[in-house]
C-alpha cells in the first residue's frame, strides 16, 4: 500500500483545479437550479439497517465526483480498509491493530495474534457477557441482599461513556415499547464528585449493578468513581463484590480480580471511541435491553461494514460521505460540521460523533509524524431537531460562515404515541420541519429586506429510514466510524491514537504530586484553591 500526503496526490491537483480560486468560501454549485426532484431521487445510496444516504444537497457534480473517485482509488482507501479489518498495524503511533469491525463480523481472513484467533476471542466474550446479562435479567444473579437488579450504572469516561450512553438513550423508548427493557441504565463519568453523588442518590443501591469500564484499568476519573461507589455500597451494608462487574483488558490491574462479580475483556485493538460494539457498550446494553437486542445492533453494524467494502463511491455511503466532507473541508474551507438528528432518541449521538471524529482526525501530523500543510478533522457539534431550529440555526442560515449539515430522520416515531393537532400528528410535523430545513438551507430565499434574505448554498446530507431500531442504530454508528476512517486514509494520518490527551494528564499528575515545576501552573492552581 502507498501512503501519500493528500496534497501530494494527483487527485489533490484535480480537485484544486475544480475548486477555482484558492480559499474561496462559497461554492459555485448552484443549489437553486440543481436541487431538482430527479437529483433528490437519484443521489441516494442504500445502507444497512434499512437506511438510505441521500447526498442530493451536497455541492458536488460529475467532475467533482470523478475526481473524488480517483482520490479514493489513488489513496487505496478500500485496500487499506480491508487490510485494517484483517489485522494490519494501522495504529502506527501505538503500533496496534485496529479491530472494532471484527467485534461484529469477520470481513476477511481470521486475525491471529500471538497464536490466538481474535475474532473467536471477541465472539467468546460476547457469549460470556450475553449469558451474564441474561442471568441478571432473569433474576438468577441478584444483589447482596437478594433483590433482583433494576438499575445498571456504567462507570467510565470518554469512549466508555459517550458511545454507550448515546446508544442506551437511542434504544430506550424502542425497548420499552417492545417490552424488552428490564433495567434502567445510568452513567457516571466526570471526576467531578457531584456527578457520582447525583447518580447514586437517584437509585436504590440494593438493586443496582455497576459496570466498571476501563481498558487500561488506570483511568484516573474511573478509578476515583469506582472507590466513590464502593464507599457508598459499604455504607449501605452491601458487599461491592456482588454489585460490580469489570470491562477491561486481560493485562489490566482490574482483570481477573475476585473483587468483581465477573470480568469481560477487550484488548488494545479496540479503541475507546470505537468500543460501543465491544463489551464496553455491550454489557450495559445487554443488561438494559437484552442480549438479543445487542445482537441486532451488532448485525446492523456488520452489514454496514460489509457494504462499505464497495469501491464505487456512488454505491458506498460511508466513503462518499467521507470524500464530500474532504471536498468541503479542504477546498471549500468550511471549518465545522453539524450533526442534526430529527429524533429525540439521538439526543446524545452528536456528542458521541464529536469524540469519534475530533479525537480520530484532529491531528496535525501524518502517520509518519510529519507535519501536514492542509486542514484535517473539523469541529463537530449538534443537537436534535427541532430543538436546534430554535437555537443555533439562525447562524447556520444567516451567519457569515458556512457549516455543512448532517441530517438524520425516520418515518415513524419509536413510541408510536402521538396526537393530532391542526390536521397532522407530531411525527409528521417533525418530518415536515426536516424536509423544510434541507430545502431552506440549500435554496435560500431572496428578499428586498436583506435582513430577511436567506443566501442558501448551505449543503447538507440526509440519512433516513423507517424507524430507529437496533439494526438501524448499528448501521448509523458504523457509517460514521467508517466515514472517519476513510477521511483519515485520505488525509494520510493515524485516526487511532490520541497523543493530544497526554500532556494534560502529565501536568495534572504534577499538580497533584505538588511538584509542578511551572510557576504558571502553580498560579492557576492557587486561583482554584488547590
Residues recognised as catalytic: 359, 390, 505
Query: Contacts with its own copies: how many residues (CB under 8 A)?
Result: 155
d(CA 269, CA 250): 12
Please, what is the end-to-end C-alpha distance for the chain in angstroms?
51
My answer on whether omega of the bond before 386 falls inside 30° of 0, hence cis, is: yes
* 472 sits near its own copies (criterion: CB under 8 A): no
Q: Which of 358, 405, 408, 484 binds its own copies (CB under 8 A)?
A: 358
User: x/- site string to its own copies, residues 100 to 139, per CB under 8 A?
Assistant: ----------------------------------------
Map residues 11-40 to x or -, x wherever contact with its own copies holds by CB under 8 A.
Answer: ------------------------xxx--x
Shortest distance, CB of residue 46 to its own copies, whole angstroms? 13
Residue whose C-alpha is closest to residue 258's, from 233, 238, 240: 240
Q: Which is nearer to its own copies, 173 or 308 (CB)?
A: 173
How many Cβ atoms from other residues are within 10 Å of residue 213's Cβ?
Answer: 33
Cβ distance to its own copies smaller for residue 8 or 411: 411
Closest CA to 299 of 490, 24, 103: 103
Q: Could you give the CA distance from residue 359 to residue 125 in angstroms, rounded to a whole number?
A: 27
Work out how close the CB of 248 gets to its own copies at its nearest, in angstroms, rounded to a whole number: 16
Please say which residue, 133 or 442, places its beta carbon nearer to its own copies: 442
Smallest separation (angstroms) from its own copies to the CB of 335: 4
- In the list 142, 203, 236, 439, the residue contacting its own copies (rule: CB under 8 A) is 439
CB of 106 to its own copies, least distance (A): 30
517 touching its own copies, by CB under 8 A: no
Does residue number 89 form part of the binding site for its own copies (CB under 8 A)? no
Between 85 and 408, name the residue whose CB sits nearer to its own copies. 408
**Listing from the earlier edge strand, what are the strands of the sheet with 44-47?**
44-47, 51-54, 460-465, 405-410, 336-342, 379-381
Nearer to its own copies, 130 or 487 (CB): 487
Pairing of strands 44-47, 51-54: antiparallel
What gap in Å lies between CA 308 and CA 78, rounded to an integer? 8
Supply the minimum distance, in Å, between the C-beta of residue 199 and its own copies: 10
Stretch that binds its own copies, among 111-119, 130-138, 171-179, 309-317 (CB under 8 A): 171-179
Check binding of 325 to its own copies (CB under 8 A): no
Of 343, 406, 461, 469, the one binding its own copies (CB under 8 A) is 343
Confirm or reject binding of residue 525 to its own copies (CB under 8 A).
yes
Separation of alpha carbons 438 and 458, rounded Å: 9
446 binds its own copies (CB under 8 A): no
Which residue among 345, 473, 476, 485 contacts its own copies (CB under 8 A)? 345
Candidate segments 136-144, 282-290, 334-342, 482-490, binder of its own copies by CB under 8 A: 334-342
Ranges within 175-214 binding its own copies (CB under 8 A): 176, 189-198, 201
Query: Judged by CB under 8 A, does residue 310 bind its own copies?
Result: no
CB 177 to its own copies: min, Å = 9
Binding its own copies by CB under 8 A: which of 224, 236, 255, 309? 224
* Residue 126 or 162 with smaller CB distance to its own copies: 162
Q: Which is nearer to its own copies, 133 or 175 (CB)?
A: 175
The CB-of-450 to its own copies minimum distance in angstroms stands at 4
Query: Scanning the structure block, which residue is given the C-alpha cell 466508555?
Result: 160
Task: Convert 254-298 into a string of H (helix), E (strand) and C (coil).
Answer: CCCCCCCCCEEEECCCCCHHHCCCCHHHHHHHHHHHCHHHHHHHH
Instruction: Check: CB of residue 27 under 8 Å from CB of residue 443.
Output: no
The residue within the footprint of its own copies, chosen from 61, 204, 231, 239 (CB under 8 A), is 231
| Residue 243, CA distances (Å) to 83, 141, 233 in order | 41, 10, 8
Q: Minimum Å distance from CB 498 to its own copies? A: 5
**Residue 50 Cβ, how far from its own copies at the closest point, in Å?**
12
* DSSP E strand boundaries for 129-183: 151-155
Contact 226, 212 (CB under 8 A): yes
Closer by beta carbon to its own copies, 1 or else 520:
520
Give Cα 237 to chain centroid, integer Å.
38
Q: Of 253-272, which residues contact its own copies (CB under 8 A)? A: 272
Contact residue for its own copies among 3, 7, 65, 93 (CB under 8 A): 93
Q: Which residues are CB-contacts of 394 (< 8 A; sequence separation ≥ 6)? A: none
Instruction: Decide whether 146 or 419 has the Cβ nearer to its own copies.
Output: 419
What is the spatial distance between Cα 391 and Cα 336, in angstroms, rounded to a whole number? 17
Give the distance, in angstroms, between the CA of residue 108 and the centroid of all CA atoms in the same chain.
24
Q: How far is the CB of 29 from its own copies (least distance, A)?
A: 14
Interaction of residue 309 with its own copies, rule CB under 8 A: no
Q: Which is nearer to its own copies, 179 or 504 (CB)?
A: 504
Q: Which of 179, 421, 515, 517 binds its own copies (CB under 8 A)?
A: 421
Strand partners, 169: none
> How would you class 383 by CB atoms within 10 Å of its CB: exposed for 0-12, middle for 13-18, buried for 19 or more?
buried
CB neighbour burial string for 130-166, b if at least 16 within 10 angstroms, e if fewer: bebbbebbeeebbbbeeebbebbbbbbbbbbbbbbbb
Amino acid at each position: 500500500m502507498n501512503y501519500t500526503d493528500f496534497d501530494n496526490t494527483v487527485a489533490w491537483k484535480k480537485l484544486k483545479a475544480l475548486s477555482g480560486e484558492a480559499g474561496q468560501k462559497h461554492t459555485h454549485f448552484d443549489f437553486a437550479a440543481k436541487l431538482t426532484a430527479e437529483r433528490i431521487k437519484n443521489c441516494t445510496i442504500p445502507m444497512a439497517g434499512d437506511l438510505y444516504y441521500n447526498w442530493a444537497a451536497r455541492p458536488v457534480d460529475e467532475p467533482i465526483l470523478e475526481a473524488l473517485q480517483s482520490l479514493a482509488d489513488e489513496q487505496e482507501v478500500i485496500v487499506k480498509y480491508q487490510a485494517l479489518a484483517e489485522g494490519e498495524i494501522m495504529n502506527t503511533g501505538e503500533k496496534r491493530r485496529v479491530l472494532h469491525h471484527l467485534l461484529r463480523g469477520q470481513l476477511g481472513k481470521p486475525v491471529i495474534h500471538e497464536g490466538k484467533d481474535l475474532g473467536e476471542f471477541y465472539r467468546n466474550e460476547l457469549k460470556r457477557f450475553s449469558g451474564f446479562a441474561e442471568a441478571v435479567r432473569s433474576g438468577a444473579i441478584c444483589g447482596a441482599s437478594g433483590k433482583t437488579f433494576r438499575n445498571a450504572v456504567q462507570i467510565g469516561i470518554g469512549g466508555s461513556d459517550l458511545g454507550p450512553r448515546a446508544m442506551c438513550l437511542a434504544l430506550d423508548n424502542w425497548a420499552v415499547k417492545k417490552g424488552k427493557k428490564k433495567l434502567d441504565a445510568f452513567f457516571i463519568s466526570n471526576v467531578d464528585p457531584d456527578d457520582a453523588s447525583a447518580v447514586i442518590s437517584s437509585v436504590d443501591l440494593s438493586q443496582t449493578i455497576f459496570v466498571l469500564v476501563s481498558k487500561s484499568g488506570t483511568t484516573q476519573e474511573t478509578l476515583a468513581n469506582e472507590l466513590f461507589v464502593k464507599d457508598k455500597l459499604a455504607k449501605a451494608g452491601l458487599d461491592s463484590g456482588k454489585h460490580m462487574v469489570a470491562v477491561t483488558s486481560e493485562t489490566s490491574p482490574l482483570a481477573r480480580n475476585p473483587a468483581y462479580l465477573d470480568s469481560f475483556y477487550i484488548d488494545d485493538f479496540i479503541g475507546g471511541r470505537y468500543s460501543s460494539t465491544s463489551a464496553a457498550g455491550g454489557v450495559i446494553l445487554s443488561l438494559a435491553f437484552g442480549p438479543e437486542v445487542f445482537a441486532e445492533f451488532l448485525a446492523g453494524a456488520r452489514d454496514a461494514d460489509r457494504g462499505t467494502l464497495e469501491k464505487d463511491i456512488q454505491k458506498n455511503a460511508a466513503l462518499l460521505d467521507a470524500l464530500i466532507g474532504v471536498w468541503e473541508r479542504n477546498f471549500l474551507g468550511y471549518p465545522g460540521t453539524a450533526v442534526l438528528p430529527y429524533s429525540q432518541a439521538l439526543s446524545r449521538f452528536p456528542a458521541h460523533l464529536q469524540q469519534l471524529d475530533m479525537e480520530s482526525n484532529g491531528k496535525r501530523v501524518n502517520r509518519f509524524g510529519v507535519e501536514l500543510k492542509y486542514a484535517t478533522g473539523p469541529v463537530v457539534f449538534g443537537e436534535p431537531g427541532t430543538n436546534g431550529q430554535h437555537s443555533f440555526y439562525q447562524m447556520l442560515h444567516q451567519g457569515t460562515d458556512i457549516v455543512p449539515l448532517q441530517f438524520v430522520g425516520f418515518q415513524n416515531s419509536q413510541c408510536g404515541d402521538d396526537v393530532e393537532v391542526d390536521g397532522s400528528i407530531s411525527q409528521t410535523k417533525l418530518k415536515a420541519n426536516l424536509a423544510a430545513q434541507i430545502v431552506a438551507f440549500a435554496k435560500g430565499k431572496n428578499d428586498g429586506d436583506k435582513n430577511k434574505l436567506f443566501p442558501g448554498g448551505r449543503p447538507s446530507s440526509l440519512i433516513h429510514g423507517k424507524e430507529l431500531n437496533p439494526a438501524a442504530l448499528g448501521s448509523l454508528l458504523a457509517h460514521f466510524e467508517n466515514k472517519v476512517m476513510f477521511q483519515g486514509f485520505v488525509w494520510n494520518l493515524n485516526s487511532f491514537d490520541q497523543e493530544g490527551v497526554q500532556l494534560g494528564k502529565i501536568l495534572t499528575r504534577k499538580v497533584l504530586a505538588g511538584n509542578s515545576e511551572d510557576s504558571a501552573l502553580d498560579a492557576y492552581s492557587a486561583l482554584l484553591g488547590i
